[in-house]
């Protein structure tokens, strides 16, 4: 039997791993013409294909089925690829990068899916052009905001984004003129740039920790949630996540000032990135540093970030209004947020037993308790870093903010996942991450524009039940997916594979000063 040539290997990889995800992405792209978000004032409604896929009845049903089937295929392709990546059968980084490009390419020019935040970005940019401050007014202050596609849910809400992203919004609005569809594509291009940065920086950060580069790339960047929310959804979280990972990478590569500057960029996109700053300070001080060295690094880091963010606020003309606007996302309730869900459950029980409607109070109490717990956990991660790497601490800190936050969106997992994947995951946490990715992918399809308003309509609760049923079918029907999602006793997880890798991992662990 002749040995497999390089051409044969490439063909085999393409057939086994790339094709299914590519077909899924093409189906999502086709379906987006029917159920993707489009503004009122666009000529796309005159297109025959768009008209057919948006026609009530069969057209809408086909579009929704196309998106649902497409995302299911992408999830399946990711799991099949992951089974072999985690077992060391796929180690070609360039092949994985090309896979990411292939799965993303069909979605570059499609209408936004799973969220219409891109249109809010555009309208906020128009506000800036008109001399209005998005920290003071909502998108409703712009005369054509509804026709431009912005979500009425945020019509009166000030933006929680940082000054750098406001400058990007203004630049996009000036560049595209009165064309919200092209604005959405422009914001997607920014998100794609961030995904490309993640595809390079996450494996590099993983290598510094002795973690397999292909495994980290597959888990954190080829992830279906990235395709859904960073590519199709064009969320600015992609820019923040990329800047945080780059900041951590530069810090561990002994360029701490550059690392802090990257974190300042992340904060200037979404201020929640401040959570990662103390851990860059820990890296700057060194794994054997004492308290005074850490304090000096924290002070220097803080000064750099303040100078950058304040300077960008002056350039944008918006000041520090984002501080007051940070509470904007908390004005909605989602079952994905544990404290909010517990508050709604408790409030519902109180109402059922006849003690009155105290839903708002119950939610506020549980959110308040969660906030206190989050502060305690964050303080512990920063002040007691011994025994783990500072990079892992940053990932855990961002995860804490998400889990205990008042609102959780599916893409919030991507704040911490690239960092935790690079720092390594024990077997139980790896499989929990895989299961959570599958749940959030299917839930995102069940609870958004892919299934709402016409053929089906699922709330959070019913959507989660549907997801549970689908996952049960997947686990029952496919032994490979069952092992991947639920794990097996011999699976070590995402950990160093050999002694040199373990040595690199150990060098990253914070120990404190020698005794």
Compute the average pLDDT of residues 473-479: 61
Residue 452 has a pLDDT of 40
**β-pair partners for 389:** 509
Q: What is the band of 447 on the pLDDT scale with cuts at 50, 70, 90? A: low
- Tell me how far CA of residue 157 lies from CA of 129, 166, 360, in angstroms: 18, 15, 19
Of 168-182, 288-302, 325-339, give the lowest mean pLDDT range: 325-339
Give CA separation, 21 vs 130, 164, 417, in Å. Answer: 43, 34, 21
Per-residue pLDDT band for 9 (boundaries 50, 70, 90) equals: low
Does 435 or 265 have the greater pLDDT score?
A: 265
pLDDT-wise least confident of 98-102, 173-177, 275-279, 353-357: 353-357
Least-confidence region, from 58-67, 329-338, 467-476:
467-476
Predicted local distance difference test score (pLDDT) of residue 144:
78
Strands (E), 97-252: none
The number of beta carbons lying within 10 Å of the beta carbon of residue 296 is 14
Tell me how many degrees the CA angle 461-463-469 measures, rounded to the nearest 5. 110
Say whether pLDDT at 28 is over 90: yes
Looking at the predicted structure, is the pLDDT value of residue 423 above 70?
yes
175 three-class SS: helix
pLDDT at res. 465: 57
| CB neighbourhood size of 439 (10 A) | 18
- Mind listing the pLDDT tens digit for each residue in 42-96? 888 878 888 888 888 788 888 888 888 888 889 888 988 988 898 888 888 999 9
Using the predicted structure, report yes or no on whether residue 114 has a pLDDT greater than 60.
yes
Judge whether residue 108 has pLDDT over 80: yes
Poorest-pLDDT segment among 264-268, 487-491, 511-515 = 487-491
Output the DSSP codes for 95-133: HHHHHHHHHHGGGTTSPP-S--HHHHHHHHHHHHHTT--
Q: State residue 4's pLDDT score.
A: 55
**What local confidence, expressed as pLDDT, does residue 279 receive?**
97
> Can you read off the two tokens belonging to residue 126?
């128009």
Q: What is the pLDDT of residue 138?
A: 86
On the question of pLDDT at 16 being above 90, the answer is no
Q: Is the pLDDT of residue 186 over 80?
A: yes
Percentage of residues in the chain with pLDDT exceeding 70?
Answer: 87
For residue 428, pLDDT over 60 is answered with yes
- Residue with tokens 């003309």, as numbered in its chain: 317
CA 39 to CA 51: how far, in whole Å? 14
143-163: per-residue pLDDT in tens? 878 888 888 877 888 888 999
Question: In 368-471, which ranges are E strands?
Answer: 425-426
Look at residue 456 in the predicted model and tell me its pLDDT: 41
Confidence band (pLDDT; 50, 70, 90) for 479?
A: low
How far, in Å, CA of 129 to CA of 320, rounded?
18
- How do residues 360-377 score in pLDDT, each as one tens digit? 888 889 999 999 999 999
**Rounded Cα gap, residues 360 and 362, in angstroms:** 6
- Which residues, at least 6 apart from 462, have a Cβ–Cβ distance to it below 8 Å? none
Calculated CA dihedral for residues 296, 299, 303, 305, nearest 10 degrees: 110
Separation CA 355–CA 358 (nearest Å): 8
pLDDT recorded at residue 381? 96
pLDDT of 300? 96
The three-point CA angle 511-514-515 to 5° equals 115
In terms of pLDDT, which residue wins out, 18 or 444? Answer: 18
pLDDT number for residue 50: 85
Q: SS3 breakdown of the chain: % helix, strand, coil, rounded to 5? A: 70, 0, 30
Which token pair is 411? 């893409």
Q: How far apart are CA 206 and CA 178, in angstroms?
A: 43
Classify 352 in phi/psi space as left (phi over 0), alpha (psi -120 to 50) or beta. alpha
| Predicted local distance difference test score (pLDDT) of residue 42 | 81
Phi/psi of residue 395, nearest 5 degrees: -65, -40
Q: Which pTM does this prediction carry? A: 0.91
Q: What is the pLDDT of residue 451?
A: 42
pLDDT in the model for residue 157? 83
**CA pair distance 464, 466, nearest whole angstrom:** 5
User: What six digits make up the tokens of 285?
Assistant: 């001080």
Residue 437: CB partners within 8 Å, gap ≥ 6?
223, 224, 225, 413
In this predicted structure, which of 62-66, 70-74, 289-293, 479-483 has the lowest mean pLDDT?
479-483
Q: How far apart are the first and last CA of the chain?
A: 62
Q: Which of 395, 450, 384, 440 has the alpha carbon at shortest distance from 418? A: 395
Q: Around Cβ 242, how many Cβ atoms within 10 Å?
A: 27
> Among 43-52, 153-162, 410-419, 487-496, whose mean pLDDT is lowest?
487-496
Q: Tell me which H or E stretch contains 172.
A: helix 163-176
Radius of gyration of the chain (CA): 23
Asked which of 16-25, 372-381, 385-394, 492-501 is least confident by mean pLDDT, the reply is: 492-501
DSSP state of 448: S
């Amino acid at each position: 039997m002749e040995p497999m040539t390089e051409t044969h290997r490439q063909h085999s990889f393409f057939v086994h791993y790339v094709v299914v995800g590519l077909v899924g992405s093409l189906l999502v792209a086709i379906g987006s013409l029917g159920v993707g978000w489009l503004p009122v004032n666009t000529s796309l409604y005159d297109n025959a294909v768009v008209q057919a896929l948006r026609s009530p009845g069969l057209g809408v049903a086909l579009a929704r089925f196309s998106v649902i089937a497409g995302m299911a295929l992408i999830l399946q392709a990711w799991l099949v690829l992951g089974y072999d990546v985690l077992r060391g059968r796929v180690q070609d980084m360039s092949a994985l990068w090309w896979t990411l490009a292939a799965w993303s390419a069909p979605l570059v020019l499609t209408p936004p899916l799973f969220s219409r935040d891109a249109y809010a970005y555009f309208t906020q940019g128009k506000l800036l052009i008109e001399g209005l401050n998005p920290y003071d007014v909502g998108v409703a202050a712009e005369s054509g905001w509804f026709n431009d596609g912005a979500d009425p849910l945020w019509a009166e809400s000030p933006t929680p984004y940082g000054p750098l992203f406001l400058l990007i919004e203004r630049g996009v609005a000036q560049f595209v003129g009165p064309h919200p569809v092209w604005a959405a594509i422009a914001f997607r291009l920014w998100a794609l740039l961030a995904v490309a940065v993640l595809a390079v920086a996450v494996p590099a950060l993983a290598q510094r920790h002795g973690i397999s580069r292909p495994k980290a790339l597959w888990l954190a960047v080829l992830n279906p949630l990235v395709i859904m929310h960073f590519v199709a959804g064009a969320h600015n979280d992609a820019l923040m996540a990329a800047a945080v990972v780059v900041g951590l990478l530069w810090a561990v590569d002994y360029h701490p000032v550059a690392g802090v500057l990257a974190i300042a960029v992340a904060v200037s996109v979404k201020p929640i990135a401040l959570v990662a700053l103390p851990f860059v300070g820990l890296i700057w001080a060194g794994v054997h540093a004492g308290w005074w060295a850490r304090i000096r690094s924290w002070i220097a880091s803080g000064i750099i970030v303040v100078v950058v963010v304040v300077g960008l606020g002056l350039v944008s003309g918006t000041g520090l209004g984002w501080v007051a606007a940070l509470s904007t996302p908390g004005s909605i309730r989602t079952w994905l947020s544990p404290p909010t869900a517990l508050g709604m459950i408790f409030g519902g029980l109180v109402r059922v037993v006849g003690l009155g409607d105290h839903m708002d109070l119950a939610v506020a109490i549980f959110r308040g308790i969660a906030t206190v717990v989050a502060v305690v956990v964050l303080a512990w991660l920063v002040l007691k870093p011994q025994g783990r790497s500072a990079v892992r601490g940053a990932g855990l800190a961002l995860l804490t903010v998400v889990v205990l936050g008042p609102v959780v969106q599916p893409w919030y997992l991507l704040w911490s996942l690239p960092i935790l994947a690079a720092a390594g995951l024990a077997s139980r946490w790896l499989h929990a991450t895989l299961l959570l990715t599958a749940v959030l992918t299917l839930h995102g399809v069940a609870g958004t524009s892919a299934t709402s308003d016409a053929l089906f309509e699922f709330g959070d609760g019913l959507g989660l039940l549907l997801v549970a049923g689908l996952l049960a079918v997947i686990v029952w029907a496919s032994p490979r997916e069952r092992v991947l999602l639920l794990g097996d006793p011999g699976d070590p997880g995402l950990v160093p594979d050999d002694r040199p890798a373990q040595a690199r991992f150990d060098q990253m662990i914070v120990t404190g000063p020698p005794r």
